[in-house]
Amino acid sequence: MNFAFRPSFLAAALLASSTLFAQEAAIRKTLAERLPQIKIDEVMRTPINGLYEVRFSGTEILYSDEKGEYILVNGSMIDTRTRADLTEARIERLLAIDFDKLPLKDAFIIRQGNGSRRMAVFVDPNCGYCKRFERDLVTIKDVTIYTFLLPILGPDSTVKASDVWCAKEPVKVWRAWMLDNVAPPKVSPRCDTTALDRNREFAQKQRINGTPATFFADGTRKPGAIPVEQVEKLLAAAAAKK
């Protein structure tokens, strides 16, 4: 049986091929300009309309829109122009907390300078990253730091957090431990430490799964021991929104 290609079928095939070539060229051009470290080996269509597979460095793969404006890497959407992680930004907005609704009565307060800027940190006394972060926080001027003790790293964390919370001068005891490794003095077992339980409950509700976790006055939330330069930028940004 002989098959003849109708002109309309051939034209459609040529158009599809031309479109694919143009889209591949657009992706290659945009990514070469914006992400020159990626050396593209191949661009292919995926089963999802408008989404293209970009293979580079042999077996590395990311996904792109038809113009290379946005890429998907490890589950995150990246704007190739600004290199902003749009997924992370969206999650941060979803996890943001109204600062004035934080249970501030369950934190002890550290004031540095005039204390005009505000931030809150959830910390475990045995967390190495928290200790590193505390060394950075000491250098920040004109800030009020609400410190929430969140003992999640085992029984000893609970003991140390209780001793800090119940101390006559919790700020002094906290800084001595975090900065100089001076163990908190033991306090009376009759001291009320229910604030620590409330902190755990609050952390669970707000999906605070690790320490340190930092909140700024505009609701911005950052996990981990972020660099002091970033802390300064976030404090400034929050102050500008007042």
pLDDT tens, residue by residue, 54-80 = 999 999 999 999 999 999 999 999 999
Burial of 100 (0-12, 13-18, 19+ CB in 10 A): exposed
Give the whole-number percent of the chain exceeding pLDDT 90. 77
Q: What's the pLDDT score for residue 20?
A: 65
Distance of CA 241 to the CA centre of its chain: 20
CA gap 79, 30 in Å, rounded:
12
Sheet strands side by side (includes 221-223):
108-112, 143-149, 117-123, 213-216, 221-223
The three-class DSSP label of residue 1 is coil
Q: What's the pLDDT score for residue 94?
A: 82
DSSP state of 148: E
Q: What's the pLDDT score for residue 132?
A: 96
Confidence class for position 5, pLDDT limits 50, 70, 90: very low
CA gap 54, 56 in Å, rounded:
7
71-85 per-residue burial string, b: 16 or more CB within 10 A, e: under 16: bbeeeebbebeeeee
Whole-number average pLDDT of the chain? 90
CA gap 65, 76 in Å, rounded:
13
> What CATH architecture applies to the domain 97-240?
3-Layer(aba) Sandwich (3.40)
Residue 2 clears pLDDT 50, i.e. is over it: no
Domain ranges in the chain are 7-93, 97-240
More confident residue, 57 or 9: 57
Closest CA relative to residue 212, chosen from 227, 201, 197:
227
pLDDT tens, residue by residue, 75-116 = 999 999 999 999 988 887 887 888 988 999 999 999 999 999
